[in-house]
Amino acid sequence: MKKIYLMIKTHNVTGCKYLCKREADNDRDAIRYSGSGLKWQQHLKKFGKDLSTEILYICPTESKEEFRTIAIKYSRELNILQYPFLNMVFEEGQGGSRKETNGTHGKKWIYKGETRTLITIDKLDEFIKNGWTQGFPDSFIKHMSIIRKGRPAYNKGKKMKLPHEYKSKQSKRKYYIPKLPYTSEMRSAVLKECLNRPEVISKFKAPRKPLVTAQNLKTGEIKTMGRHEWWKFDKVNYQRLLRGRQSKGWKMVLLAGLEPAT
């Protein structure tokens, strides 16, 4: 039966510490876990994994809320956000950080020269008046740029999961069932319903461009029609009419109330 372990990892070379949790079947498997914090992993990469482990608390996996309370209590008592601890957030047994346990929540980074520090927002104005600047110095930004240069993306070479491959958190099923796809039959039905709406039909029937009024030079007859209707009527070239020229004996005229809009 698995249990949750709350442990302190101590580096035997540097003396740095790390508070962590691990779910394991026995003490041996729990102690083999070295910790996964960002700063802590960088420290282990640089100085090796010569570690000592102190087990602070053990409880069944069903008692996660109880474990969370104990873990936060130890995090505060040990002040794990300060040296010699290399934790970046309080340990609460959930993995990652939350608003109430994140040591940087509600704080801002400021610098003065090459000195950097993290302060609460209510003290920001006071520090800025004393010559501090919000953000990071150029030397630090340049240093981080050099470190990250050439690093592959975290998701390089990884295949994106399909929706049905993710585990469901809201049901007891292993995988959740994705929504039904929007099929071509469904699209066709929606399109047909939209095109049959009266307001859509009237919009399509109305001419999209101003009507053309022209007069037959032989008979004096005057007609007002849409541009393509002129072509269907007698192969009249409406483009010639718009330029003020004749086409098939017709010429555009400007009559009061029938002037084509410009």
CATH number at residue 46: 3.40.1440.10
Q: What is the mean pLDDT of residues 67-82?
A: 89
The pLDDT tens digits for 208-241 are 677 888 889 888 888 888 888 888 888 898 888 8
The pLDDT of residue 196 is above 80: yes
Residue where a domain stops, chosen among 100, 119, 142: 100
Quick one: 51 and 79 in the same domain?
yes
Mean pLDDT of the chain: 81
Most confident of 15-29, 196-210, 218-232: 15-29
d(CA 159, CA 91): 31
Would you say residue 141 has pLDDT above 80?
yes
Q: How many whole angstroms separate alpha carbon 50 and alpha carbon 120?
A: 36
> 255 versus 188: which is more confidently predicted?
188
The parent domain of residue 167 ranges over: 163-206
pLDDT value of position 260 = 44
pLDDT band at 88 (very low <50, low <70, confident <90, very high): confident
Q: Is residue 194 part of a domain?
A: yes
Residue ending a domain, among 100, 115, 138, is 100
As a whole number of angstroms, the distance between CA 107 and CA 116 comes to 13
Q: If you search the block for the tokens 């004096």, which residue do you land on?
A: 220
Q: Is the pLDDT of residue 177 over 60?
A: no
24 shares its domain with 82: yes
Q: For residue 173, is it within any domain?
A: yes
- For residue 155, being part of any structural domain is answered with no
pLDDT at 258: 47
Q: Which of 4-13, 71-80, 110-119 has the lowest mean pLDDT?
A: 110-119
Determine the pLDDT at residue 148: 76
- Low-confidence winner among 23-27, 47-51, 93-97, 256-260 (lowest mean pLDDT): 256-260
pLDDT given for residue 104 in this prediction: 67
Asked, for residue 85, whether it belongs to a domain, the answer is: yes
212-216 sheet: strands from edge to edge: 222-225, 212-216, 250-252
Whether 108 has a pLDDT exceeding 90, the answer reads no
Is 259 contained in some domain? no
Q: Using 50, 70 and 90 to split pLDDT, how confident is the model at 262?
A: very low
> How many domains does the structure of the chain reveal?
4
In this structure, is residue 248 part of a structural domain?
yes
Side chain identity at residue 62, one-letter code: E
Which ranges of the chain does DSSP label H, i.e. alpha helix? 27-32, 38-47, 64-78, 124-129, 138-148, 184-195, 198-205, 227-234, 238-242
Do 12 and 57 lie in one domain? The reply is yes
User: What pTM was estimated for this model as a whole?
Assistant: 0.41
Looking at residue 98, what is its pLDDT? 53
Query: Does one domain contain both 3 and 91?
Result: yes
Burial label, 89 (beta-carbon count in 10 A; 0-12, 13-18, 19+)? middle
Residue 19 has pLDDT above 90, yes or no: yes
71 and 5 share one domain: yes
Same structural domain for residues 80 and 55? Answer: yes
- Whether residue 260 lies inside any domain: the answer is no
Q: What CA–CA distance (Å, rounded) separates 238 from 191? A: 33
- What's the pLDDT score for residue 259? 47
Show which of 189, 206, 223 is a domain's final residue. 206
In this structure, the dihedral spanned by the alpha carbons of residues 164, 167, 170 and 172, taken in order and rounded to 10 degrees, is 100
Measured distance CA(36)–CA(96) in Å, rounded: 10
Burial of 118 (0-12, 13-18, 19+ CB in 10 A): exposed
Average pLDDT over residues 13-40: 90
- 232 and 190 fall within a common domain: no
Report the alpha-carbon distance of residue 75 to residue 94 in Å, rounded. Answer: 14
Is 129 part of any domain? yes
**Whether residues 217 and 197 fall in one domain:** no
Q: Are 45 and 93 found together in one domain?
A: yes
- Give yes or no: residues 64 and 122 share one domain: no
